[in-house]
Every structure is written in structure tokens, then in C-alpha cells.
Amino acid sequence: MSYQAAAALQTAVFGALVMAPALDGVSVVDAIPSGASPGTFVLIGPEVAVDRSDGTGAGAEHRLTVSVISDANGFMAAKTVAGAVCEVMLAGGMVLGTGHLVGMQFQRAVARRLDAGTTRRIDLTFLARIEI
């Protein structure tokens, strides 16, 4: 098992999300912006990597969370962006600088209100299978 493809996975996810026409104008970050209200943005978040090596070679599963955070009224803006994120993540074609992305699957979504209801957050969890 190796964690060596983790940075390559994040780079590929970031590139795919930034280049997606459906996400034009939506910031993609890996840390919550400080300062003034950031509006609606996509946060590439935590992951858990598990060994999936076998007799044919080294590999790992990465459970990656991509969040949509929005201060827009209601959930509609966040859900629209979350749908676009899912489309990008599951479209295929992501090329890693290290390893090979065998597959990407949607695992779950959790939507909730934060900050006394002024902020919406949708955490999308994906399972990426990588061969090294």
C-alpha cells in the first residue's frame, strides 16, 4: 500500500473541477477562505486511504470528501453546485501524475445547515481506486 498517489489525486480532482463549465465562477479550494463571505465554493477536503494491493500490484482506495459550502438562501444553490461536482467526478478521464485511476464511485452525500442556518454544507464522498 502506498499513499504516494494522494497528491496526484487531489491535483487531478482540482483540475477537473476548475475546468468544468458547469462550475464556472465557483471557487475550488482546499482550505476554507478567510475574511468576507465567500459565497458558494467547493472545498476539496479530507480523505482516508486503505490498502488494496493484490497479487497483480500495489493499489489503494481513497475515500475523498468534496464539499459544497454556500451562504445563499436555501439549499438550491448548494445542491445545483453539488450536482455539477458529481457529474465532473464521475465523468472519467482524470489522469494522475502518479498511479492510475481505475475508477471513481459516488458513496454518499450529507447536507446540513451551519451557523444558525445561514450557511449550507453538502459533503460528497467519493471512492477512488488507484493502482500504483
Q: Each residue's pLDDT tens digit in the chain (132 positions)? A: 679 999 999 999 999 999 999 999 999 999 998 887 789 999 999 999 999 999 888 999 999 999 999 999 999 999 999 999 999 999 999 999 999 999 999 999 999 999 898 999 999 999 999 999
Domains of the chain and any CATH numbers: 6-131 (3.30.2000.30)
- Cell 494491493 belongs to 53
Cβ pair 62, 68 in contact under 8 A:
no
Report the C-alpha gap between 132 and 127 in whole angstroms.
Answer: 16
Under 8 Å between Cβ of 7 and 98: yes
Kindly report each contact of residues 26-30 with a partner whose C-beta sits within 8 Å and lies 24 or more positions away, as own/partner. Answer: 26/81
